[in-house]
Homo-oligomer: A and B are copies of this chain.
Amino acid sequence: MTKIKVIKNILSANKNTADKNRRFFREKGILAVNLMGSPGSGKTSLLEKTFEAGAGDLRFAVIEGDLATSHDAKRIKRFGVPVVQINTHGGCHLDANMVGRALKELPLAHTDILVIENVGNLVCPADFDLGESKRIVVLSVTEGEDKIEKYPFMFKFAGCCILNKIDLLPYCNVSDERIKRTALKINKDLDFFKVSCKTGEGINRWLEWLRAKL
């Protein structure tokens, strides 16, 4: 019971800070998105392809969340996109406080879209509001067909699901259409995109979606 109470307190304190972040984003006219998914689903690759396709008219900034290393921040920097790396040192998700602190290090007066790439984890990040206006879940076809049913909480409150690695469909025993049907059964308002961050297929449609949210 103490455990439950403490978790409730943590979540309620997080919600307050998330609301503060959200007000800040609104005042600055920034679209903040929370990018989530399993380790290796392709979150950073999606950003790389997005910057390749969308650079020019859209000004991005990125917060990278990882247990350890600055690998992802380095990948983002190559595109000239401002980025802050957060290392959670074992922590399984970002929280609104971490994001709030990272905001101070970004040139947000010149940002249209802030992408917060969460720790690779299909469970815990779903519980922590960061102040984002949209949640995006990346799922790769190699993870199998049953992940949405087995990890429903992540998909229930997402605005958009990106099914990545569709170039590997011929080698995996999964149906992209069945995955899409399951996703829409769990969340009928979910926008669903099939992409390959290897070939670039589908990236433009996802970018249009992002643009429409501005």
Chain A residues engaging chain B, CB cutoff 8 angstroms: 2-3, 6, 10, 38-40, 66-69, 71, 90-92, 119-124, 127, 140, 142-144, 146-147, 149-153, 165, 167-168, 171-173, 198
Contacts and interface: CB of A to CB of B under 8 A. Distances in A.
A67 B154 CA distance: 11
Q: Chain copies in the assembly?
A: 2
Contact of A121 (B121, B127, B144): B121
B6 A150 contact: no
B40 A92 contact: no
Nearest to A40: B143
Contact of A71 (B68, B120, B150, B152): B150
A91 B10 CA distance: 16
Contacts of A120: 38, 122, 147, 150-151
Contacts of A152: 67-68
26 contacts: A3-B6, A38-B120, A38-B122, A38-B143, A39-B122, A39-B143, A39-B151, A40-B144, A66-B150, A68-B150, A68-B152, A69-B149, A69-B150, A71-B146, A71-B149, A90-B123, A90-B153, A91-B123, A92-B92, A92-B121, A120-B150, A121-B124, A140-B142, A142-B168, A168-B171, A173-B198
